[in-house]
Amino acid sequence: MSTTDTLPRPLTGEMLIGARAIAGTDKPVRAIEAATGLPMEPAYGGGTAADVDAACALAWAAFDTYRETTPEARARFLEACAQAILDIGDDLILRAMAESGLPRGRLEGERGRTVGQLRLFAAELREGSWVGARIDPALPQRAPLPRPDLRLRHVPLGPVAVFGASNFPLAFSVGGGDTAAALAAGCPVVVKAHSAHPGTSELVGRAIRSAVAACGLPEGVFSVLFGSGAVVGQGLVADPRIKAVGFTGSRAGGIALMKTAAARHEPIPVYAEMSSINPVFLLPGALEARAETIGKGFVGSLTLGAGQFCTNPGLVLAVEGAALDRFLASASEALAAAPAQTMLTPGILQAYQQGVARLAGNNRVRHVASGAAAGAATQGQAALFETTAAHFRDDPALAEEVFGSASLVIRCPDTATMLRLAEELEGQLTATIQMQDEDLEMARALLPVLERKVGRILFNGYPTGVEVAHAMVHGGPFPSTSDGRSTSVGTLAIGRFLRPVCYQDMPAALHPAALRDDNPLGLWRRRDGVPGHH
């Protein structure tokens, strides 16, 4: 057991429970080197119920102290986390490359994104409108009854369980978006590391832990557990001290957590990002004007990161005709040139291959094109299929996500059918409209349908690439997520871990800084309903 926060190399295979590093005694987890399929050192002993209990107890003990740190103190902590992640240096990139099979450029970019979102939340903490502060001053002379003094702020929900995602070993994992948002909100975090990248998780976990220590915060602010979904994952969600859950993964996994959370004595919010096929609507004018360009751009989005994105374009809808054929020819050509890519895990590769085989074996689906053949048993080959609107409507299985570089083009007889199919889709993270000026009317007809179905609507772009910004929504109606009222990316995500509290006639000596009359934090607040820095 190590009690220091110095980064040890080689990796120890230990869980990080507050300030302790401890080897799990349950069935061990081991990374599989993505490119070779071979197991990697070290083994990560799985956490037990006792480990879950220990991490939750520390998180709970830390909560009251941590949540009343100043926004400035939490901002500095997030910045320290970002710097500590950078300070790991190339070891982090090398380990993440080995565990995920993702290329260096992608992982360096993802590290930048991870660090960037920690820093963006630091800035958001300082800006302060996330507090949602409101003051309705007393009206002692009001008749028939005086109005009391009412002050409202948002407070953190409590310790949050964060589940690392397989496909973003940095940006949606130990130090990823949910962790950043929860820590910003004032919630301690207990991470269930994804078993596909335990070494990356240990490195980032130790970095954040060093920031906890350096900032003088209670050790329970942050822990990382390894192990099984049944013991560690379900155990965390069932623990009464956990007050919210952030998850990115499969629909089955997300729904299992939703059920556990709903069955608790005290149900808690679950923010599970699950499945999405991200329909792309090629409107007739755009198809006519830019079929070839769109074909190439589409394949670029489809094959990015071996298609292992929540926002991968898995469905294309267009009116059949010569322009659609031009799109398909262009996409086929681009796809043929797309190299096979190492996939994240043997399980993901197998599921992808099964999904592709299911489409290929469906006699109402036509195979359009494939990417370059796999050069190794760990690689996935991109694939494009097509079917008719009638077949698509008949077979709900065709609307299921195939996680990877596979997409299905729906030949529609007319735009009315495109609209109708849009109406029948399940909830999605994104929808994309490729359009020209002459498509405005059709876009206007699609928009209300899509607004009811998706979290983000893109125009003349592609859904992969999720900007970390103030106006981003990475979320959407079920089943794309379990709770469409929220986003997992961008500064609005802090709100998912907050709830409002009102103070009535609170003595001034007790006012939290955010609600003091002199507004020492310089917050944007609503005073008698009027917004301003007052």
Helix (H, G, I), strand (E, B) or coil at 309: coil
The answer to whether residues 96 and 90 touch, using CB atoms and an 8 Å cutoff, is: no
The nearer residue to a second copy, 73 or 390, going by C-beta atoms, is 73
Neighbour tally for 208: CB within 10 Å: 28
Q: Is 465 near a second copy (CB under 8 A)?
A: yes
Amino acid at residue number 14: E
Q: Is 333 near a second copy (CB under 8 A)?
A: no
Q: Of these, 223, 417, 482, 488, which contacts a second copy (CB under 8 A)? A: 482
The answer to whether residues 194 and 165 touch, using CB atoms and an 8 Å cutoff, is: yes
Instruction: Pick the catalytic residue from 310, 386, 401, 412.
Output: 310
The DSSP result for 359-382, as a single string, is HHT-TTSEEEEE-SPPSSTTEE--
Q: Measure the CA–CA gap between 532 and 524, rounded to whole angstroms.
A: 5
Query: Minimum Å distance from CB 140 to a second copy?
Result: 13
Annotated catalytic, 266? no
* Cis ω before 507 (30° cut-off from 0): no
Annotated catalytic, 273? yes
The label of the residue with tokens 């740190």 reads 69
The answer to whether residues 230 and 255 touch, using CB atoms and an 8 Å cutoff, is: no
Query: Minimum Å distance from CB 408 to a second copy?
Result: 22
Phi, psi for 153 (deg, rounded to 5): -140, 165
For residue 232, the 8-state DSSP code is: I
Helix (H) or strand (E) holding 319: strand 315-319
Q: Measure the CA–CA gap between 93 and 73, rounded to whole angstroms.
A: 29
Which residue stretch of 15-23, 25-33, 382-390, 447-455 sits at the interface with a second copy (rule: CB under 8 A)? 447-455
Instruction: Pick the catalytic residue from 14, 79, 219, 273.
Output: 273
Which residue stretch of 95-103, 206-214, 275-283, 526-534 sits at the interface with a second copy (rule: CB under 8 A)? 526-534
Q: Of these, 4, 27, 50, 68, which contacts a second copy (CB under 8 A)? A: 68
Query: Minimum Å distance from CB 394 to a second copy?
Result: 19
Q: Is 459 near a second copy (CB under 8 A)?
A: yes
The answer to whether residues 176 and 170 touch, using CB atoms and an 8 Å cutoff, is: yes
- What part of residues 205-264 is at the interface with a second copy (CB under 8 A)? 258-259, 262
Q: Is 140 near a second copy (CB under 8 A)?
A: no
Q: Of these, 145, 252, 373, 377, which contacts a second copy (CB under 8 A)? A: 145
Query: Minimum Å distance from CB 478 to a second copy?
Result: 5
Q: Of these, 9, 147, 364, 367, which contacts a second copy (CB under 8 A)? A: 147
Query: Minimum Å distance from CB 328 to a second copy?
Result: 24
Q: Is 435 near a second copy (CB under 8 A)?
A: yes
Q: Measure the CA–CA gap between 506 and 250, rounded to whole angstroms.
A: 46
First-to-last CA distance in the chain? 51
Checking DSSP bridges between strand 315-319 and strand 279-282, what pairing results, if any? parallel
What would the x/- binding string for a second copy be over residues 414 to 433, using CB under 8 A? ------------xx------
Q: Of these, 148, 229, 339, 346, which contacts a second copy (CB under 8 A)? A: 148
Q: Residue 301, CB half-sphere, CA atoms under 13 Å: how many?
A: 26
Q: Is 484 near a second copy (CB under 8 A)?
A: yes
Q: Is 152 near a second copy (CB under 8 A)?
A: yes
Helix (H, G, I), strand (E, B) or coil at 163: strand
- What part of residues 100-139 is at the interface with a second copy (CB under 8 A)? 109, 123-124, 127, 129, 132, 134-136
The nearer residue to a second copy, 59 or 211, going by C-beta atoms, is 59
Contacts of 245 (CB under 8 A, 6+ apart): 160, 161, 162, 163, 236, 237, 257, 261, 268, 269, 270, 271, 272
- What part of residues 159-178 is at the interface with a second copy (CB under 8 A)? none
Q: Measure the CA–CA gap between 354 and 382, rounded to whole angstroms.
A: 13
Tokens standing for residue 388: 């008719």
Query: Minimum Å distance from CB 362 to a second copy?
Result: 24
Which residue stretch of 17-25, 232-240, 358-366, 482-490 sits at the interface with a second copy (rule: CB under 8 A)? 482-490
Q: Of these, 38, 49, 336, 469, which contacts a second copy (CB under 8 A)? A: 469
Query: Minimum Å distance from CB 23 to a second copy?
Result: 33
- Give the interface size with a second copy as a residue count (CB under 8 A): 84
Which residue stretch of 48-56, 93-101, 381-389, 499-507 sits at the interface with a second copy (rule: CB under 8 A)? 499-507
Instruction: Report the catalytic residues.
Output: 273, 310
